């Protein structure tokens, strides 16, 4: 059996990396190896996981510097004997070992409005055409792994922006509501202020790392930014609104 | 406080643990952009002294050709139109991504720490001006039509009539690549139907959605079309100039040039 040469972050903020050698079998993923490490050499190693199927979004970590899911990272992608650095998500407060406190995201979630559905015609039910919901369907795939938030330089490198910027995962959520075919929020309310769209410089790292393959930048952020331009920076629309009232 | 703890932690972790050659992409795209900028600036500046038109061909860097009599000879007519394509590409979402990464190092690559201590994104002057992109897009659409007209005219030699040459094919490809780049524009995609929440309500909206779907195909490859069209503008200009200045001969069906 091949042996993995691991370097795993241990402890809290004042901790350090430790080296471990762990044997692994064919077809195993990083999370398997971490579990083996836990079972054989480091019984107190903290790691968060649930499904081992890339669907619960719990096992996010930084593997050789790449934010990704431990359960979806196959050992085959590494050379045998190569040093594999496994670190916790760096954007969040570390609790211990590979577990971070991602609760700041749950606060952000509260700032995204719920969809405000149009009333159905009297005697009818609410109806949506398939062609209208196809677009928002993509956003529902999000598994809340927060890898996109972790990689986003706006908060990763500048934690002081944390309060001004809801971040890519919540732009996806916002797009889901703002583009909902029956949502009746005024467009301005959904994009103009408070979410920090203007801080994103569309460098696309969130899209690169999303394990669900959501086109976060192209289909959520940029369309929201364009709506924001409609509301705030488009002189023709400003004149239109002044002449013909609010659109 | 949380912020302090986090940045302290990041300092401990170091700049990045990426072991792949993450610097290759920003270096190549930054270098490519710089090379094009240099070439196009030189090409436009030396305009009047290094002929840019020959037979039915005109370099795309001078299309549409505005050359009024009062224009001093040393002043390149390219300058009168350059602002449009330059503004379109500079404010393009794809080019923004690229030069923010390669030149502003913001960030240089994903999960690689950026050097700047503070960051305000596109929330302040001057970067807030990126929001004008849609106006450059409207102008670019007009340029698209003009370049197609130029491409069609390149099959017609005044005094001789219809024909074809390598230059005509090059100019046609150039117009096509620019069209594919422009059709993939995010602002265009938004304008045509992206701003709607419900596509199905009226026949006009359903039509707009069809267009949105088509533009989306180009949009998904926006990066590829951005590079193809940019490199090809340079090559088209170079080709026409080499022919115009007698360095190479264009193969064509006409007799008089
Ligand atoms: S594209 Fe925007 S939201 Fe996504 S990682 Fe980059 S800066 Fe953050
Ligand atoms: S958008 Fe993608 S990367 Fe971000 S939390 Fe959802 S699944 Fe994870
Ligand atoms: S354990 Fe559920 S996503 Fe990895
Ligand atoms: S987004 Fe690239 S041209 Fe508009």
Give the closest residue to A46 by CA, choosing from A8, A16, A83, A84.
A8
What mean pLDDT comes out for the span B24-33? 96
If asked whether residues A32 and A80 sit together in one domain, one would say yes
Backbone dihedral region for residue A81 (phi beyond 0: left; psi -120 to 50: alpha; all else: beta):
left
- Between A157 and B11, the more confident residue is A157
Indicate which atom in ligand 1 lies nearest the CA of residue A202. Answer: 1
pLDDT greater than 50 at residue B2: no
Residue A181: what pLDDT?
Answer: 96
What does the pLDDT look like over B67-99, one tens digit per residue?
Answer: 888 888 888 888 899 999 999 999 999 999 999
Total structural domains within chain A? 2
Give the count of alpha carbons within 13 A of A24, CB side only.
26
If asked whether residues A96 and A116 sit together in one domain, one would say no
Residue ending a domain, among A73, A101, A129, is A101
Q: Which domain holds residue A34?
A: 3-101
DSSP B1-28: -HHHHHHHHHHHH-S----S-TTHHHHH
Q: Which protein residues touch ligand 4 with a CB less than 6 Å away?
A: B 92-94, 133, 137, 185-187, 222
What does the pLDDT look like over A49-66, one tens digit per residue?
Answer: 999 999 999 999 999 999
What mean pLDDT comes out for the span B201-225? 97
If asked whether residues A93 and A157 sit together in one domain, one would say no
Nearest-CA distance B171 → chain A (Å): 31
If asked whether residues A60 and A116 sit together in one domain, one would say no
If asked whether residues A94 and A119 sit together in one domain, one would say no
Residue B3: what pLDDT?
Answer: 46
Q: Token pair of B157, please?
A: 């030699």
Tell me the CA–centroid distance for residue A234 and ligand 4, in Å. 17
What does the pLDDT look like over A173-198, one tens digit per residue?
Answer: 999 999 999 999 999 999 999 999 99
pLDDT greater than 70 at residue A247: no
Question: What does the alpha-carbon distance between residue A71 and residue A125 come to, in Å, rounded to a whole number?
Answer: 42
Cβ contacts of A8 within 8 Å, gap of 6 or more: A17, A18, A20, A34, A37, A42, A45, A86, A87, A97, A98
- Name the strand (E) or helix (H) holding A9: strand A3-10
Chain-centroid distance of CA A108 in Å reads 12
Residue B238: what pLDDT?
Answer: 96
ipTM (interface predicted TM): 0.94
Residue ending a domain, among A101, A125, A159, is A101
Identify the DSSP state of B252.
B
Give the closest residue to A47 by CA, choosing from A21, A15, A20, A8.
A8
If asked whether residues A166 and A226 sit together in one domain, one would say yes
pLDDT greater than 50 at residue B17: yes
If asked whether residues A89 and A131 sit together in one domain, one would say no
Residue A57: CATH number of its domain: 3.10.20.30
Q: Which residues pair with A94 in a beta bridge?
A: A100
Buried b (16+ CB within 10 A) or exposed e, B171-180: bbbbbbbbbb
pLDDT greater than 70 at residue B257: yes
Within 142-181 of B, beta carbons closer than 8 Å to A belong to: none
- Name the strand (E) or helix (H) holding A5: strand A3-10
Q: Please calculate the CA angle A6-B111-B190 and round it to the nearest 5 degrees.
A: 140
Identify the DSSP state of B194.
I
If asked whether residues A138 and A87 sit together in one domain, one would say no
What mean pLDDT comes out for the span B92-121? 96
Share of chain B above pLDDT 70, in %: 95
If asked whether residues A200 and A144 sit together in one domain, one would say yes
* Pocket mutation for ligand 2, best pick of A66, A104, A143 (most atoms within 8 Å of C-beta): A143
Count of CB atoms within 10 A of residue A36's CB? Answer: 17
Helix residue spans in chain B (DSSP H): 2-13, 24-45, 78-90, 93-102, 133-153, 166-183, 186-189, 203-220, 222-244
Give the E-state strand segments of B90-222 in sequence order.
Answer: 156-157, 161-162
What does the pLDDT look like over B165-210, one tens digit per residue?
Answer: 999 999 999 999 999 999 999 999 999 999 999 999 999 999 999 9
Residue ending a domain, among A66, A101, A136, is A101
Give the E-state strand segments of A83-195 in sequence order.
Answer: 83-87, 93-96, 99-101
If asked whether residues A235 and A117 sit together in one domain, one would say yes
What does the pLDDT look like over B46-70, one tens digit per residue?
Answer: 877 789 999 999 999 998 888 888 8
Share of chain A above pLDDT 90, in %: 94
Chain-centroid distance of CA B41 in Å reads 14
What does the pLDDT look like over A209-244, one tens digit per residue?
Answer: 999 999 999 999 999 999 999 999 999 999 998 998
pLDDT greater than 60 at residue B6: no
If asked whether residues A49 and A144 sit together in one domain, one would say no
Count of CB atoms within 10 A of residue A23's CB? Answer: 12
Give the number of the ligand closest to the Cα of residue A30: 3
- Between B17 and B222, the more confident residue is B222
Residue B10: what pLDDT?
Answer: 52
Question: What does the alpha-carbon distance between residue A5 and residue B232 come to, in Å, rounded to a whole number?
Answer: 48
Please check whether residue A23 is in contact with residue A1, taking contact to mean a CB–CB distance below 8 angstroms.
Answer: yes
Please check whether residue A221 is in contact with residue A173, taking contact to mean a CB–CB distance below 8 angstroms.
Answer: no
Residue A88, classified by CB atoms within 10 Å of its CB into exposed (0-12), middle (13-18) or buried (19+), is: buried
Question: What does the alpha-carbon distance between residue B69 and residue B62 come to, in Å, rounded to a whole number?
Answer: 16
Q: Which residues pair with A66 in a beta bridge?
A: A63
Of B10, B96, B187, the CB nearest to A201: B96
Q: Please calculate the CA angle B120-B124-B126 and round it to the nearest 5 degrees.
A: 115
Q: Token pair of A30, please?
A: 């990083």
Residue A207: CATH number of its domain: 1.10.1060.10
Contact check, Cβ <8 Å, A204/B97? yes
Phi first, then psi: give them for residue A219, nearest 5 degrees. -105, -20
If asked whether residues A234 and A134 sit together in one domain, one would say yes
């Amino acid at each position: 059996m091949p042996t993995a040469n691991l370097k795993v972050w241990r402890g809290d903020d004042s901790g350090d990396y430790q080296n471990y050698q762990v044997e692994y079998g064919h077809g195993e993923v990083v999370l398997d190896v971490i579990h083996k490490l836990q079972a054989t050499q480091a019984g107190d190693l903290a790691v968060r996981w649930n499904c081992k199927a890339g669907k619960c979004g719990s096992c996010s970590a930084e593997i050789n510097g790449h934010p990704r899911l431990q359960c979806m990272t196959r050992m085959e992608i590494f050379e045998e004997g190569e040093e594999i650095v496994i670190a916790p998500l760096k954007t969040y407060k570390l609790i211990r070992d590979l577990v971070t406190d991602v609760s700041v995201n749950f606060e952000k979630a509260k700032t995204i409005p719920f969809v405000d559905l149009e009333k159905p015609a009297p005697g009818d039910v609410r109806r949506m055409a398939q062609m209208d919901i196809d677009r928002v369907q993509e956003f529902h795939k999000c598994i809340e792994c927060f890898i996109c938030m972790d990689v986003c330089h706006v908060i990763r490198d500048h934690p002081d922006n944390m309060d001004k910027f809801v971040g890519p995962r919540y732009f996806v959520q916002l797009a889901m509501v703002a583009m909902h075919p029956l949502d009746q929020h005024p467009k301005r309310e959904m994009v103009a202020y408070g979410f920090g769209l203007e801080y994103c410089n569309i460098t696309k790292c969130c899209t690169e790392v999303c394990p669900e393959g959501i086109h976060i930048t192209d289909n959520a952020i940029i369309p929201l930014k364009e709506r924001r331009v409609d509301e705030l920076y488009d002189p023709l629309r400003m004149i239109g609104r002044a002449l013909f009232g609010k659109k | 406080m949380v912020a302090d703890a986090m940045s302290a932690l990041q300092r401990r972790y170091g700049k990045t643990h990426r072991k792949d050659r993450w610097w290759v992409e920003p270096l190549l795209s930054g270098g490519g952009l710089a090379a094009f900028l240099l070439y196009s600036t030189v090409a436009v500046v030396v305009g009047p002294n290094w002929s840019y038109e020959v037979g039915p061909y005109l370099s795309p860097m001078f299309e549409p050709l505005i050359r009024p009599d009062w224009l001093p000879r040393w002043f390149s007519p390219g300058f009168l139109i350059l602002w449009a394509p330059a503004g379109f590409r500079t404010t393009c979402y794809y080019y923004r991504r690229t030069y923010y990464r390669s030149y502003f190092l913001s960030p240089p690559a994903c999960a690689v720490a950026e050097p700047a201590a503070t960051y305000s994104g596109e929330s302040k002057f001057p970067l807030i001006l990126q929001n004008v992109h849609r106006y450059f897009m409207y102008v670019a659409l007009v340029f698209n039509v003009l370049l197609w007209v130029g491409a069609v005219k390149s099959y017609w030699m005044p005094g001789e009539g219809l024909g074809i040459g390598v230059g005509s094919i090059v100019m046609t490809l150039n117009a096509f690549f620019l069209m594919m780049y422009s059709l993939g524009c995010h602002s265009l995609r938004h304008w045509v139907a992206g701003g709607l929440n419900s596509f199905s309500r009226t026949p006009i909206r359903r039509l707009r959605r069809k267009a949105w779907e088509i533009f989306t195909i180009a949009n998904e490859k926006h990066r590829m079309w951005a590079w193809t069209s940019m490199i090809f503008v340079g090559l088209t200009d170079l080709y026409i100039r080499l022919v115009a200045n007698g360095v190479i001969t264009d193969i064509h069906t006409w007799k008089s040039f």
